[in-house]
Structure 1
């Protein structure tokens, strides 16, 4: 479960130190290499809830094995990519390949809790969150070491042994789920999935290039959204049950918080990391090492607070931590001392260790049990939407190179997002009532 769920964050974070050498290899500026980030999240944002719904209907085994095999194929394609375009295509394939791990894990945890009648396994949920946070944070350091040893292509080749391990463990350990009986086979809402994909695709393409001449993209997004609503409200067994979702405002607010929190987190990981190389002049390996304090703090915070049922306090502290970390970026310059870089990493480690864990626990407690896979997938979708917004912001503020002036403009944008995250959390009274789901015997 843990190995499958970290496939996406490892490919996200390792890339953060690969962007500059990849750009140098293909003669591409940051505005073009940003597509390597966006391509992964575009595919995953669409694929996560779709695969999650399939897991809800058919169980996790087949979806997990198929997706992780696709991850290996994408890693092979990326390792030998002859151009930036082929590398972007490999990242799209990688996005679809890493879709199943997280919703499969959440589905298995929730189904075991229902089967045994026990309370939610806080230790397992914490281990899942800590593993994802650990990989997300040590990814830059790992990427720097891989680049130092074998160049940027080694960061794509990493998927080959990971995929093989997932296939081996998944085939041996994941439970076999019987297909539904012919008379009771659930119907797959393919039109709903298609409309959902069209809505997200046009929205994310516009966010990646918000230009006046792309005016038709938000219009297509609105039309696809309207058609999706009309379809889902009148079909039996909808892909997204809008009536249930509309009657669950706490879950909707959790998705909004996910978007805001991950916008800041990913803009920090990619934008600040690029600045360390371009603006501060650090090598890829030293940039990775500069993020190690963030890793240590995030793990310590997650491990310490993991078993606490408190959600509101974690999110409030996480929002304040993001504001503080972003504020510390303002005095940065080409000759900033190492002590300031360490301080920034230490402060950012606190929200890194709190937010994803609290958001994951919120969805676990707020979602309908029979839709846990798709609900977990939607949580990741909103997180990836935040990642694409962050990528678009990085491309806008770093059009040619990640210089200090661009970093400071990016920081003011992030401060506004972090402040909104804090406001949404402070105003949500439902967080105080969030509790463990009742056992099902």
Structure 2
């Protein structure tokens, strides 16, 4: 790539890393926020829920918006939104305000991620594979280093630092993007004829509203019932409302012209549906460990934020180191064997959580972290290859979007699972229960992956 293209990649890379960095740094900050705002884990977990729910909604909308208004414009606006949220959040007068700024931050980072890959594909025509691999390093590196960076910032200052650290990154990315990203011409034929009513249908606003109301209402029902230790009529009522909203959402999506989540695709291609369910469960397992173990280390084993961040490095680094080797292995042998090994590693890591006790050496958590890290490195490549093999080329954009949605669902479910199991306070017994549940889920994935191997699905072509 030319020197200008390298600066272009740095501009885009610094922007897109904001989403994984901010979603991962929070893992180490959860116990600190519990103490500052006097909340239990179920309440403070809305820092996780809000970010991923907003991301799952905003990313597909921003992808559509970029087709109308231009990718460069959406990218730059996203950086401004992140700047405002990161500057305002540290001064939040209450936890509710912090959640609001967190949602705004998620929308901003989703604007950037939603168009970052497209910018690279459009403007880097030579050595495109190299450019995409560089962008992948920014994304996976930020996710891997997030807990460590968060731990260091909490150690030297306070929780506000994990928000303010975005500001210099945003400023540098904005200056470079303003100068290096070419001005693009929006689709005037679409934009000029797009009325407000057409825009509402274009983004599927009714579907988004039904999805948001259903998911949030259901989460509030389950978490509030857990926090009060009893199920009241109000909890049941909220849960019923949530389930009805999600049922209406599913029915509506089958009829929508441009659905928010194209469920018709799953009916037409059952293999894609099974793959997305598997991907959702994989992320449920991974993020249950990712968000649960830092809180266990700090609240049960009384490990500092700094040392928790160092321990969590074994998760991210093992994933980063595994990914390039996984790529070469899967190129030769196909994704099936890698997925089978991955599920076995997650099973072993989950069993290790069950065996941990308050007298276990702290460093022993690295066994579970490394198992899940290597598994994640295998999954990142193998699942993507399996998706390409299962998806018709004509709808690969749609299926890739669904794949990201499945990732968000798995992350949301992981936080819900931790909140239900742990409730008000983390404990060694709670970690063992969590480990048992994760082991059962991992074993179900082992069965699915080996059965798929016997059927010869996703073999190397």
TM over 0.5: yes
Q: Would you say 1:195 and 2:206 are equivalent positions? A: yes
| Aligned residue in 1 for 2:174 | 167
| Mapped contact 1:48–1:381 kept (Cα < 8 A) | no
Greater CA deviation, 398-407 or 185-194? Answer: 185-194
SS in 2 for 1:350: helix
Shift of 1:239: 5.5
Greater CA deviation, 421-430 or 332-341? Answer: 421-430
Match for residue 100 of structure 2 among 81, 89, 99: 89
| Aligned residue in 1 for 2:323 | 302
Q: Would you say 1:385 and 2:409 are equivalent positions? A: yes
Q: Whole-Å Cα distance in 2 between the matches of residues 183 and 55 of structure 1?
A: 12
Q: Which has the higher contact order (CA 8 A, sep 6+)?
A: 1
**Residue 370 and residue 193 in structure 1: after superposition, are their counterparts in 2 closer, same or farther (change >3 A)?**
farther
Shift of 1:34: 0.7
| Mapped contact 2:311–2:363 kept (Cα < 8 A) | no
Q: Whole-Å Cα distance in 1 between the matches of residues 396 and 185 of structure 2?
A: 19
Deviation readout 1:278-334 (Å, 9 max, x if unpaired)? 111111111111112223311210132235433333332222221111111111122
| Aligned residue in 2 for 1:153 | 160
SS in 1 for 2:458: helix
Stretches of structure 2 that go unaligned for 5 or more consecutive residues are 1-11, 223-234
SS in 1 for 2:204: helix
| Aligned residue in 2 for 1:399 | 423
Shift of 1:70: 1.0
SS in 1 for 2:337: helix
Aligned length: 427
Q: How does 1:9-408 map to 2 (within 5 A)?
A: 9-56=20-67, 59-108=70-119, 110-111=121-122, 121=129, 123-182=130-189, 190-191=200-201, 193-205=204-216, 206-207=218-219, 209-210=221-222, 211-214=235-238, 215-232=240-257, 246-307=267-328, 308-309=330-331, 310-363=334-387, 375-408=399-432
| Aligned residue in 2 for 1:439 | none
Greater CA deviation, 88-97 or 99-108? Answer: 99-108
| Mapped contact 1:126–1:302 kept (Cα < 8 A) | no
SS in 2 for 1:75: helix
Deviation readout 1:42-89 (Å, 9 max, x if unpaired)? 111111122223345555322222222211111112111121111111
Shift of 1:125: 4.2
| Mapped contact 1:141–1:285 kept (Cα < 8 A) | yes
| Mapped contact 1:316–1:426 kept (Cα < 8 A) | yes
Q: Whole-Å Cα distance in 1 between the matches of residues 190 and 35 of structure 2?
A: 58
Q: Whole-Å Cα distance in 1 between the matches of residues 310 and 250 of structure 2?
A: 44
Shift of 1:375: 4.6
Stretches of structure 1 that go unaligned for 5 or more consecutive residues are 436-441
**Residue 50 and residue 419 in structure 1: after superposition, are their counterparts in 2 closer, same or farther (change >3 A)?**
farther
Deviation readout 1:347-394 (Å, 9 max, x if unpaired)? 222012122233344556666778766654432222111111111111
Q: Whole-Å Cα distance in 2 between the matches of residues 69 and 374 of structure 1?
A: 28
Q: Whole-Å Cα distance in 1 between the matches of residues 377 and 116 of structure 2?
A: 20
**Residue 354 and residue 127 in structure 1: after superposition, are their counterparts in 2 closer, same or farther (change >3 A)?**
farther
SS in 2 for 1:432: coil
Shift of 1:126: 4.1
Greater CA deviation, 123-132 or 7-16? Answer: 123-132
Shift of 1:96: 0.8
**Residue 312 and residue 264 in structure 1: after superposition, are their counterparts in 2 closer, same or farther (change >3 A)?**
same
How much is the aligned-residue C-alpha RMSD, in angstroms? Answer: 2.9
Q: Whole-Å Cα distance in 2 between the matches of residues 131 and 316 of structure 1?
A: 27
| Aligned residue in 1 for 2:5 | none
**Residue 261 and residue 208 in structure 1: after superposition, are their counterparts in 2 closer, same or farther (change >3 A)?**
farther
Q: Whole-Å Cα distance in 2 between the matches of residues 423 and 110 of structure 1?
A: 38
Per residue, is there more helix in 1 or in 2?
2
Deviation readout 1:229-282 (Å, 9 max, x if unpaired)? 2122xxxx6666665565444444443232111111111111111101111111
